[in-house]
């Protein structure tokens, strides 16, 4: 039995129903792989099954690349990850994105989670079996084939599992947490993260985070508006040449052949009407005048509509961001520790600030603020600042926050959401645990 340390049921009690099947690694958010310091039970029950079992072929990078060849635009061997990125490789992915936006985004989310699982499993096992130096050797995709004899794909022995979980001085949770940090620093992960961000920007999203999972979740939430803006821009782009052509001198100076050709081109551009052009050359001037009026009106309407939607979306996003951030400030500090009352957030902030002072805590929300005392003062009073701003939202609608306040808000605002759009409080609390 691979995990002899699991609790056995009492012979006097009925057997418990079998546990539900574990989700595949590609279904697991990145926060799943984080554990608290010295948390051996979490390592044993949650992490180790994925690290020790034989790797199913369906959970390999090779299986994904075979099913979705375009994923190679994001995943590369570490030796190749230093090559210059070519934006042209995104052309296929962008085309697929505009055709099947939600499916493409969900696939990229799955790939993100599978790729990080792949890197942390590989680094963990090679570090244990072959040593720290071997785990730092540049990774190649060929190394990741699920060979039953390989360090990466084989099953760990019971002795290996016992060593990794029962000898805390050398292994245990400390080793795993060290490997987790090393996996995030691997060249392959940095390359992947950079490519995801470049892709998001190429389709019109400027992510608020450099974390690829968070960036893709933002892209998923903004699909409707993003696709709308793309479609409007594409429509406008098609109409602009027509409008400029129609503003040229009267076509009386053109030959009959030129007039007929221009009329045909205009008909192709207006293919949404799907009507055949049965007009004779005698009617061309009347048709062109009608099209000129129609296209000019459509173009002005589209521009006004795009401007209105952009402004409304920015206002809505600003108000929603403030509400979400204040909700998090209300619920993030556990009541059992910080009690009730308006000073809960202030006490929580002070404790976290002291914990981060003089340390380098990667991925902690305060990691980019800790070096400047002004952010400490802003953070302590942030709940009151946001409450006052929301109470005055009607009068100050559209007004931007102070730059320093906005930086603190951007650092701590929620980034994890449930499928129904609500904030994932458990995942948010995990961000602050280091």
Q: What confidence tier does 278 reach under pLDDT thresholds 50, 70, 90? A: very low
Query: In this structure, is residue 104 part of a structural domain?
Result: yes
Query: In this structure, is residue 113 part of a structural domain?
Result: yes
pLDDT at residue 316, as a whole number: 42
Q: What confidence tier does 252 reach under pLDDT thresholds 50, 70, 90? A: very low
Whether 364 shows a pLDDT value over 70: the answer reads yes
Spatial separation of the C-alpha atoms in residues 339 and 187, rounded to whole Å: 44
Ranges 44-48, 126-130, 213-217: which has the least confidence? 126-130
Ranges 127-141, 251-265, 332-346: which has the least confidence? 251-265
Query: In this structure, is residue 357 part of a structural domain?
Result: no
Q: Is the pTM of this model over 0.75?
A: no
pLDDT at residue 246, as a whole number: 43
Q: Mean per-residue pLDDT for 48-76?
A: 89
Query: In this structure, is residue 167 part of a structural domain?
Result: yes
Q: What confidence tier does 343 reach under pLDDT thresholds 50, 70, 90? A: confident
Domain span holding position 81: 22-221
Alpha-carbon torsion (22, 23, 24, 28), positive or negative? negative
Q: Mean per-residue pLDDT for 253-275?
A: 48
pLDDT in tens, 84-105: 455 566 788 988 898 889 999 9
Query: In this structure, is residue 292 part of a structural domain?
Result: no
pLDDT at residue 183, as a whole number: 93
Q: What confidence tier does 38 reach under pLDDT thresholds 50, 70, 90? A: confident
pLDDT at residue 68, as a whole number: 93
pLDDT in tens, 299-323: 666 666 665 554 444 444 456 778 8
Higher pLDDT, 76 or 112: 112
Whether 253 shows a pLDDT value over 50: the answer reads no
Whether 171 shows a pLDDT value over 50: the answer reads yes
Ranges 61-65, 208-212, 221-225: which has the least confidence? 221-225
Spatial separation of the C-alpha atoms in residues 144 and 185, rounded to whole Å: 18
Query: In this structure, is residue 352 part of a structural domain?
Result: no
pLDDT at residue 259, as a whole number: 45
Query: In this structure, is residue 379 part of a structural domain?
Result: no
pLDDT in tens, 388-423: 887 775 555 667 888 899 999 989 988 888 877 788
Number of domains in the chain: 1
Whether 250 shows a pLDDT value over 70: the answer reads no
Higher pLDDT, 254 or 151: 151
Query: In this structure, is residue 48 part of a structural domain?
Result: yes
């Amino acid at each position: 039995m691979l995990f002899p340390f699991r609790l056995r049921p009492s012979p006097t009690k009925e057997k418990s129903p079998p546990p539900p099947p574990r989700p595949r690694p590609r279904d697991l958010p990145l926060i799943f792989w984080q554990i608290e310091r010295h948390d051996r039970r979490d390592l044993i029950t949650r992490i180790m099954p994925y690290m020790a079992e034989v790797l199913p072929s369906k959970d390999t990078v090779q299986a994904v690349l075979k099913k979705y060849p375009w994923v190679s635009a994001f995943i590369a061997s570490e030796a190749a990850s230093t090559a210059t990125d070519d934006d042209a490789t995104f052309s296929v992915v962008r085309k697929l994105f505009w055709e099947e936006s939600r499916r493409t985004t969900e696939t990229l989310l799955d790939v993100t989670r599978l790729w990080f699982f792949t890197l942390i499993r590989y680094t963990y096992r090679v570090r244990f079996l072959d040593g720290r130096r071997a785990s730092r050797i540049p990774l190649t995709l060929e190394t990741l084939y699920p060979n039953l004899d390989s360090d990466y794909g084989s099953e760990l022995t019971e002795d290996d599992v016992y060593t990794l979980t029962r000898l805390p001085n050398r292994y245990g949770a400390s080793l795993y947490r060290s490997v987790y940090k090393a996996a995030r620093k691997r060249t392959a992960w940095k390359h992947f993260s950079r490519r995801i961000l470049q892709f998001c920007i190429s389709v019109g999203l400027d992510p608020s985070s450099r974390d690829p999972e968070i960036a893709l979740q933002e892209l998923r939430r903004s699909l409707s508006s993003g696709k709308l803006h793309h479609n409007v821009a594409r429509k406008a782009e098609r109409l602009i040449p027509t409008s400029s052509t129609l503003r040229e001198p009267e076509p009386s100076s053109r030959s009959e052949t030129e007039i007929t050709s221009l009329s045909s081109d205009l008909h192709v551009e207006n293919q949404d009407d799907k009507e055949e052009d049965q007009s004779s050359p005698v009617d061309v001037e009347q048709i062109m005048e009608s099209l000129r009026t129609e296209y000019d009106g459509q173009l002005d309407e589209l521009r006004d509509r795009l401007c209105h939607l952009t402004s409304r979306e920015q206002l809505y996003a600003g108000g929603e961001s403030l509400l979400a951030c204040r909700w998090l400030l209300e619920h993030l500090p556990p009541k059992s520790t910080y009690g009730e009352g308006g000073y809960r957030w202030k006490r929580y902030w002070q404790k976290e600030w002291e914990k981060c002072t003089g340390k380098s805590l990667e991925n902690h929300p305060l990691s980019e603020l800790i070096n400047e005392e002004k952010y400490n003062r802003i953070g302590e009073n942030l709940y009151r600042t946001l409450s006052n701003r929301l109470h005055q939202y009607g009068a100050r609608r559209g007004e931007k926050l102070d730059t320093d306040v906005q930086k603190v808000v951007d650092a701590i605002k929620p980034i994890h959401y449930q499928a129904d759009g609500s904030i994932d409080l458990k995942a948010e609390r995990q961000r602050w645990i280091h």
